[in-house]
Amino acid sequence: MHNISLSRFTNGRANLRRYHQARWDEPVIFELSQRGERGVLVPELEQEVAAATSQTLLGIPAGMLRIQAPHLPEMSQNRVLRHYLRLSQQTLGADLNVDVGQGTCTMKYNPKINEQLARDARMSELHPLQDADTVQGLLHMFHQVHALLMEVSGMDAVSLQARSGSQAIYGNFAVLRAYQEDAGSYGVRDEVITTIFSHPSDAACARLLGYKVITLYPDADGYPDLKALRAALSPRTAALIITNPEDTGIFNKKIRQFTDLVRAAGGLNIYDQANANGLLGITRAREAGFDMCHFNLHKTFATPHACGGPAVGAMCVTRELERFLPSPKIMLREGRYSVEDAGPDSIGKVSAFMGTASIVLRAYAWAMNLGAKGLREVAEIAVLNNNYMMHELLKIPGLSAPYAPGKRRIEQVRYSWEKLHADTGIHSEQIGIRAADFGVHYWTSHHPFVVPEPATIEPTESYSQADLDEFVDVMRHIAHEAYTDPETVRSAPHNCPVHAIDASGLDDPKRWAITWRGYQRKLLGQAAKLGA
């Protein structure tokens, strides 16, 4: 009998997977539509319901009313199921592959029992306009997550309303502006200081709210330059917003000096702590001298990333800034929870209602299951995994980790394939595309591109040593190909449903089609021109 394990393992170590994605010549769903086909038979409108709702449309402006029914695909249930299952087989995802190459996004395992909790009818069928007396359990859960995040951050108050990390950053800048307006310094203190390796949303949100941005660059060891900070501070300084560790994975051990200098100059300190995966239970924003911070529950607290949504960006502030947080707020009085207006100083809403309740529930379940010791262990294993992977990856010819030579990193590393590119002509993006041929995801966006030929890799605590070894082996194999057979890398992917993509139209709006109907109109327009 043939020993099938021999083709999969060598000396107990897994070989590269013989991987090939499914390839379906799958039409878009509008092409599959067949007139009259139905997946669900909707009951006829009852006369009593029609009578009760007959006045509903009268208050809607005529210009907002449809002239005709929407052009929706008409399909049976089984054909809809086949369509989306086929599409799902043509992609990579955190539940299918070793997903450590997402850098800064913290792609970690989302426990499936938490998914079941979020889909339970007692959660999924709640309505955000229900009376508070009917959702006491939900409000208790929000209140508990507030308390958890206050403990983790050292802050005094929390809002879970923001639907993303960037929205939480925007919300914190709105709190900064409201604080300044109350103090009479808005428009006078109009400069925000950040660093080049803090998240790009930090600078973007500051600009969106009218602040000028001063960007600090790293010194030779990769730390934000303290001398440059001193030079940037002035009576116009409104705030410092900074990530620590930055997106290089380097922790700024002088962070308290930074925040003390900003406070002495009259500014506030904002901590972009979207990714706190290597810090839980070890460091806190309060002790580092910050006035505000935010967490991405879809990163640190193991809820689905979901392509940017649904998500929760938790805004955390000191007591001095609490009155500016978004409205409404949850209050506990005599054992009962209520949802109340936050008062005249509030920035209002940054999103509807109180936040994405199903995501808050997932994060709550994850944190409560782990407990305080477990949360610290998350950070310890994430740091251990990251440094093990860095030790192994740096053995690969052509790969380096710029800055802080010989130093450890926290939860991620921004590597550079600069030498490999100089030797072979192969770019980091091409390595990422080739990685898909082995069922591995490797992120090809590492803004800003200060590090040449960047690769930002973050293992998190979710992955075993075997998982990390598999990813390292894929990188080693591709690097070897780059030196010995670069055309294989250059012409990748080979085992995916779509091979090299023609990107020539990305900068030509005349070739864009955002919807199927728009695409059809452009085709008709082209045909008409050819006929003329």
What CA–CA distance (Å, rounded) separates 343 from 326?
Answer: 9
- What residue numbers bound the domain in which 262 lies? 136-369
Contact 458, 412 (CB under 8 A): yes
* In a domain? residue 414: no
pLDDT tens-digit map of 236-285: 999 999 999 998 999 999 999 999 999 999 999 999 998 899 999 999 99
Q: Is pLDDT of 456 > 60?
A: yes
Closest by CA position to 267, among listed 259, 256, 275, 277: 259
Give 437's pLDDT tier (boundaries 50, 70, 90): very high
Per-residue pLDDT at 93: 80
Domain boundary among 339, 369, 399: 369
**Residue of 387, 434, 396 lying closest to 417 (CA atoms):** 396
CB 100 within 8 A of CB 443: no
> Residue 532: is its pLDDT beyond 60?
no
Tell me the helices (H) and strands (E) count for the chain, helix number first: 16, 13
In a domain, 310, yes or no: yes
Pairing of strands 157-162, 313-317: antiparallel
Q: How many domains does the chain have?
A: 2
Rg of the chain on CA atoms, in Å: 26
How confident is the model at residue 102, as a pLDDT?
A: 78
Band of residue 4 on the pLDDT scale cut at 50, 70, 90: confident
User: Between residues 310 and 135, which one has the greater pLDDT?
Assistant: 135
Higher pLDDT, 447 or 182: 182
Q: What is the pLDDT of residues 350-389, one digit of tens each?
A: 998 888 999 999 999 999 999 999 999 999 999 999 999 9
> 103 pLDDT exceeds 80?
no
- Distance CA(390)–CA(400), nearest Å, equals 9
Q: Are 496 and 21 in contact (CB under 8 A)?
A: yes
Residue 9's pLDDT band, with cuts at 50, 70 and 90, is: confident
Q: What is the pLDDT of residue 104?
A: 79
- Which tens digits make up the pLDDT trace of 298-341? 889 999 887 666 789 999 999 999 999 999 999 999 999 999 99
For tokens 């007396």, the residue is: 133
- For residues 532 and 372, the model is more confident at 372
CATH number of 344's domain: 3.40.640.10
- pTM, full prediction: 0.90
Q: What is the model's pLDDT at position 86?
A: 94
Question: Pairing between strand 454-457 and 413-416?
Answer: antiparallel
Q: Which residue has the higher pLDDT, 285 or 58?
A: 285
When pLDDT is cut at 50, 70 and 90, the band that residue 524 belongs to is: confident
Q: Are 326 and 342 in contact (CB under 8 A)?
A: yes
Is 477 within the bounds of a domain? no
Q: Strand, helix or coil at 241?
A: strand
pLDDT level of residue 92 (50, 70, 90 thresholds): confident
Report if residue 158 sits inside a domain.
yes
Q: What is the residue-averaged pLDDT of the chain?
A: 92
Identify the burial level of 47 via C-beta atoms within 10 angstroms of its C-beta, where 0-12 means exposed, 13-18 middle and 19 or more buried: exposed
Residue 217 pLDDT: 93
- 315/525 Cα distance (integer angstroms): 49
Per-residue pLDDT at 529 exceeds 80: no
Check residue 308 and give its pLDDT: 61
Q: For residues 201-215, give the mean pLDDT.
A: 96
pLDDT at 381: 97
State how beta strands 191-195 and 237-243 pair.
parallel
Q: Grade residue 191 by pLDDT with cuts at 50, 70 and 90.
A: very high
Q: Tell which of 346, 369, 392 closes a domain.
A: 369
Instruction: Answer whether residue 467 is part of any domain.
Output: no
What confidence score (pLDDT) does residue 101 get? 81
Give yes or no for residue 62 having a pLDDT over 90: no
| pLDDT for res 55 | 80
Residue that is last in its domain, among 369, 393, 415 = 369
What does each C-alpha distance from 361 to 141, 369, 389 come to in angstroms?
7, 12, 32
pLDDT of 205 reads 96
Residue 193 domain-assigned (yes or no): yes
Read off the tokens for 393. Answer: 């990856």
Q: Which two tokens stand for residue 252?
A: 């700024």
Report which residue type is found at 170: Y
The answer to whether residue 316 sits within a structural domain is yes
Residues 107-119 pLDDT 10s: 889 999 999 999 9
Confidence class of residue 444 from pLDDT cuts 50, 70 and 90?
Answer: low
Q: Which residues contact 207 (CB under 8 A, 6 or more apart)?
A: 213
Q: Flag whether 16 is in a domain.
A: no
